[in-house]
Structure formats: structure tokens, C-alpha cells
Amino acid sequence: MLNDLGIPFRVVAAQVQEIPRAGEQPAVFSKRMAQEKARAVSQQYPEDWVLGADTVVSLGKRLLGKPDSLREAKKFLEALNNRTHEVITSFCLINQALKKALARSVYTRVTFKHFSRREIDWYLQTGEPLDKAGAYAIQGRGSFLVREIKGSYTNVVGLPLTEVLETLEKNAGFKLGEGAEGIIPQEIEARNPKLETIPNDQNHNG
């Protein structure tokens, strides 16, 4: 998405285990993952701004990550059918040299329509649910599942652009239209005042 805005960036993989702790709430897990990813990559690039992010789908207190199989994807979709859930994306911006670290979470409520078993089976056959948190991609074929969203659309896709840009402008001297490389933990993207990015595996959708 940052690419679409003409923002230069470099994607760097973060070696972090994405495993929820016992009793860990979805929002807490998302924020912890974003921070751990950003910290891991910032160790390699202490002079650069590093942006890490993580997206989760929350159904009540239940965290729906990326399904391990089509069977699990089907269970996720059945649980979300005709219900409202929350998509939470947390992002963390770090510059070790400047001793700056900021973290923020953005919430979007998504309501699914009622869909049939035939529709679920068709969607599973596309393979799209397998690498998406909650087993769907709002920016892909999974858009047919969504009846309504309240909040940021890009947050559901995997990166709340408005909030990320506001944070970069306020804290990193970033100006849209002015290129300066940065790093993003292989999941996101961003690169202005030396911005390194970590990939949000979810890209939702992390």
C-alpha cells in the first residue's frame, strides 16, 4: 500500500515467533507482535526508522489467525458467518539511535453477510483464505463476504495508512512526496526518512 503512495521502503523479514501466550487478548497479542517485529529488525538497522505491524481478527475474545488448513479456514468462516468481528492492526515505529519507540493500535468492525455452505466451499477452493488472518481477504475475492465495515478499510487490508502516515509525519519528519529510504519488517512497507519495514504476514489480512 505504501508503494501506491510512492513511498520508498525496504522490506526486511523479522525472525519472531507469532504465538499467543496463554490467556493473551487479541489486541495485546497484536501490539506485542508489532513491537517484537520492529525491535528485531531495528537491531540490524539502528540508524533507520523501522516500522513493524501485525493484524489479527478478533471474534469476542477469540483470536483468529491464519488457518493452518482448509478445514480450519472453514471453521473460521463458519464462525464469522452473519456476525460482526473486529480487525485489529497494531504498528510500532522505532529508531534506536534516536531512542524513539511508538506503538498504536487501530480497530475496525467488520460485519459479514449470511453466506451458504456452497459459497464457503467455493471460496475455500480459491486458496485465498489460507494465508489470511480470519481466513479472508477484503481486498480480494473475500470482499463478497463483507456487508459492512465501520472504521479504516486499509486497516482491514493490513496497514492503517492514515494513522501510519500521521505517526511518521509527527515523529519521523516524514513528508508525503519527499523520498527518503526506510525499513519495514517484511510485512509492511515504508521508506522515507530511512524507514525500514517488516512484512505484516497478515497483510490481512499481517
Residues with a catalytic annotation lie at 54
Whether the CA torsion 60, 61, 64, 65 is positive or negative: it is positive
Decide: helix, strand or coil at residue 141.
Answer: helix
Q: Answer for the pair 136, 145: CB distance below 8 angstroms, yes or no.
A: yes
DSSP 192: S
Give the span between the Cα atoms of 106 and 97, in whole angstroms: 27
| Neighbour tally for 74: CB within 10 Å | 18
Which residue in the block uniquely carries the three cell numbers 488472518?
133
Q: Burial, 87: exposed, middle or buried (Cβ in 10 Å; 0-12, 13-18, 19+)?
A: buried
